[in-house]
């Protein structure tokens, strides 16, 4: 049977974000997946080089609307390390609380979307309703539902009042109840078991070979979490454990994420109860000394890496963002091979793809059709020569 190309996207009812899949199928079986990730490329890395440290944090938060605190913290953490700043313990705890609340809202969101992809809309509604409790807590603490704006170089911008801590703690028991229910549901609900088991299998060796990160890798038995292996913020002072699973399929990824939800509630509870007193920020110098650093952070979707190079001014010389979704795409392409066409939404949703973090550009010269090397995220997008060649639509 001849192979058929099924194009999906960039605007498609099943997609929440613009991406173009070219699925090469042989009958019902998928042979190969080709991806175009460039639709949302905005040129943030180039813009970050032109703004000082105060102005660049709001920009980096808006790399992604779901893990916005991750990007800002990864950057602030890196720059603080270059400057040799030690932030106060209370600031570290507040950053940890926001980070774990963000993980909770992201995982609840994912659980809903995954349930929606298998047609289990009841769970979609339930998990998104519970997510609103997390959103309310975040809104009380930071003033905004999505982009929190909590970070600055040298600490956090807002302190937590005793009243805020009290209401946040009062919301937790209800949430814990619901999450316990989801933990039970994932293991017993027939709809999910039938649809998730054995779909998108990936062994431990394959996960390591294709460089999967985060819950995707941990579901294949890779025992790796930046929070434990390269501790930052307050994670080395908190009792918690890394959730792993050895199923390696979508079922395993669901189990890992629901388990992490539970761990996150416990981390938030511990931090709220044991938050140290003191100031929330130290004054940071205007300029950073010359240096470079790879700042790692465990975002809800996996390991996020910010490569930062400074040159003694109040701006970065180069920042390169490697988001977790970019690392996971290769494993998706591998998982999809040999699966049914109908499994595409489930397998793609299982890595919790976030395309606005991920968008990369390849500039192709019109004459000859060769790709310009090293064009990930806008290096030669600024090259005036390539503009004359007419890459601009």
Partner 1 sequence: MAVPGNGISRRLVSWARIKSPWITVYNSGGCNACDIEIIACLMPRFDVERFGILVRGSPRHADILIVTGTPTLKQASRLRRVWEQIPEPKYVIALGACGSSGGVFRGLYQVVDRVESVIPVDVYVAGCPPRPDEIINAVVRCIDLLREDTAHGGKEWRQKKPLPAPVPGEKSPAEVP
Q: How many residues bind partner 1 (CB under 8 A)?
A: 45
354 binds partner 1 (CB under 8 A): yes
**Per residue in 87-123, is it b (16+ CB within 10 Å) or e — as a string?**
bbbbbbbbbbbbbbbbbbbbbbbbbbbbbbbbebeeb
Min CB(387)–partner 1 separation in Å: 9
Of 149 and 291, which CB lies nearer to partner 1 in the complex structure? 149
Of 43 and 278, which CB lies nearer to partner 1 in the complex structure? 43
Min CB(19)–partner 1 separation in Å: 10
353 binds partner 1 (CB under 8 A): no
Q: Which of residues 162-221 bind partner 1 (CB under 8 A)?
A: none
Of 47 and 208, which CB lies nearer to partner 1 in the complex structure? 47
Min CB(157)–partner 1 separation in Å: 16
Q: What residues form DSSP beta bridges with 310? A: 291, 316
Min CB(184)–partner 1 separation in Å: 21
382 binds partner 1 (CB under 8 A): yes
Q: How far is CA 250 from CA 192, 222, 357, in A?
A: 10, 15, 23
In 3D space, the residue among 67, 98, 239, 266 whose CA is nearest the CA of residue 183 turns out to be 266
361 binds partner 1 (CB under 8 A): yes
Task: Give the x-and-dash track for 25-64 against partner 1 (CB under 8 A).
Answer: -------------xxxxxxx-xx----------xx--xxx
> On the CB side of 328, how many CA atoms lie within 13 Å of its CA?
30
Of 2 and 393, which CB lies nearer to partner 1 in the complex structure? 393
385 binds partner 1 (CB under 8 A): no
Of 60 and 222, which CB lies nearer to partner 1 in the complex structure? 60
Walk across the sheet containing 20-26 and list its strands: 4-8, 20-26, 29-36
16 binds partner 1 (CB under 8 A): yes
Q: Which of residues 128-167 bind partner 1 (CB under 8 A)?
A: 128-129, 131-132, 135, 144-147
Backbone angles phi, psi at 107, to 5 degrees: -70, -35
Q: What is the CA radius of gyration of the chain?
A: 21
Site stretch for partner 1 (CB under 8 A), options 89-97, 122-130, 226-234, 282-290? 122-130
Identify whether the C-beta of residue 354 lies closer than 8 Å to the C-beta of residue 64: yes
Q: What residues form DSSP beta bridges with 6? A: 23
Min CB(38)–partner 1 separation in Å: 6
Q: Which letter does DSSP use for residue 215 in this model?
A: H
Site stretch for partner 1 (CB under 8 A), options 95-103, 171-179, 284-292, 354-362? 354-362
Min CB(246)–partner 1 separation in Å: 31
Q: Binder to partner 1 among 154, 248, 302, 378 (CB under 8 A)?
A: 378
Pick left, alpha or beta for residue 264 (phi over 0 → left; psi -120 to 50 → alpha; otherwise beta). Answer: alpha
Angle at 370 between CA 367 and CA 374, to 5 degrees: 130
392 binds partner 1 (CB under 8 A): yes
Q: How far is CA 125 from CA 137, 289, 314, in A?
A: 19, 50, 46
Q: How far is CA 371 from CA 70, 366, 367, in A?
A: 32, 10, 11
Give how far the C-alpha of residue 212 lies from the chain's centroid of Cα atoms, to the nearest Å. Answer: 13
* List of residues contacting partner 1 (CB under 8 A): 10-14, 16-18, 38-44, 46-47, 58-59, 62-66, 68, 109, 125, 128-129, 131-132, 135, 144-147, 354-356, 361, 378, 381-382, 392-393
């Amino acid at each position: 049977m001849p192979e058929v190309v099924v194009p999906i996207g960039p605007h498609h009812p099943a997609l929440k974000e613009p991406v173009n899949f070219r699925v090469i199928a042989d009958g019902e079986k998928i042979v190969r997946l080709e991806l175009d990730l460039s639709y949302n490329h905005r040129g943030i890395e180039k813009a970050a080089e032109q703004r000082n440290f105060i102005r660049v944090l709001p920009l980096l938060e808006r790399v992604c609307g779901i893990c916005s605190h991750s990007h800002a913290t990864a950057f602030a953490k890196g720059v603080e390390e270059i400057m040799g700043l030690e932030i106060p313990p209370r600031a570290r705890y507040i950053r940890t609380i926001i980070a774990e609340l963000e993980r909770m809202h992201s995982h609840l969101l994912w659980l809903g979307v995954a349930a929606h992809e298998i047609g289990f809309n009841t769970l979609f509604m339930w998990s998104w309703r519970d997510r609103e409790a997390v959103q309310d807590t975040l809104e009380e603490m930071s003033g905004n539902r999505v982009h929190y704006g909590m970070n600055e170089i040298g600490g956090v911008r807002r302190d937590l009042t005793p009243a805020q801590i009290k209401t946040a703690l009062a919301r937790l028991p209800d949430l814990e109840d619901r999450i316990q229910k989801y933990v039970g549901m994932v293991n017993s609900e027939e709809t999910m078991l039938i649809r998730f088991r054995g779909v998108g299998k990936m062994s431990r060796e394959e996960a390591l070979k294709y460089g999967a990160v985060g819950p995707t890798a941990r579901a294949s038995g890779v025992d790796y979490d930046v929070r434990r292996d390269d501790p930052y913020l307050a994670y080395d002072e908190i009792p918690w454990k890394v959730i792993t699973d050895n199923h390696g399929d979508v079922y395993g990824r669901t189990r890992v994420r629901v388990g992490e939800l539970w761990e996150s509630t416990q981390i938030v509870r511990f931090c709220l109860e044991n938050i140290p007193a003191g100031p929330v920020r130290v004054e940071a110098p205007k300029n950073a000394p010359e240096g470079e650093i790879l700042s790692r952070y465990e975002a809800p979707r996996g390991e996020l890496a910010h490569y930062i190079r400074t040159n003694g001014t109040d701006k970065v010389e180069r920042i390169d963002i490697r988001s977790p979704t970019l690392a996971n795409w290769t494993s998706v392409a591998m998982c999809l091979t040999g699966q049914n066409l109908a499994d595409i939404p489930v397998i793609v949703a299982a890595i919790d793809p976030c395309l606005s973090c991920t968008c990369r550009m390849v500039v192709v010269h019109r004459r000859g059709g060769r790709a310009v090397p090293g064009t990930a995220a806008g290096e030669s997008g600024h090259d005036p020569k390539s503009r004359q060649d007419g890459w601009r639509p």
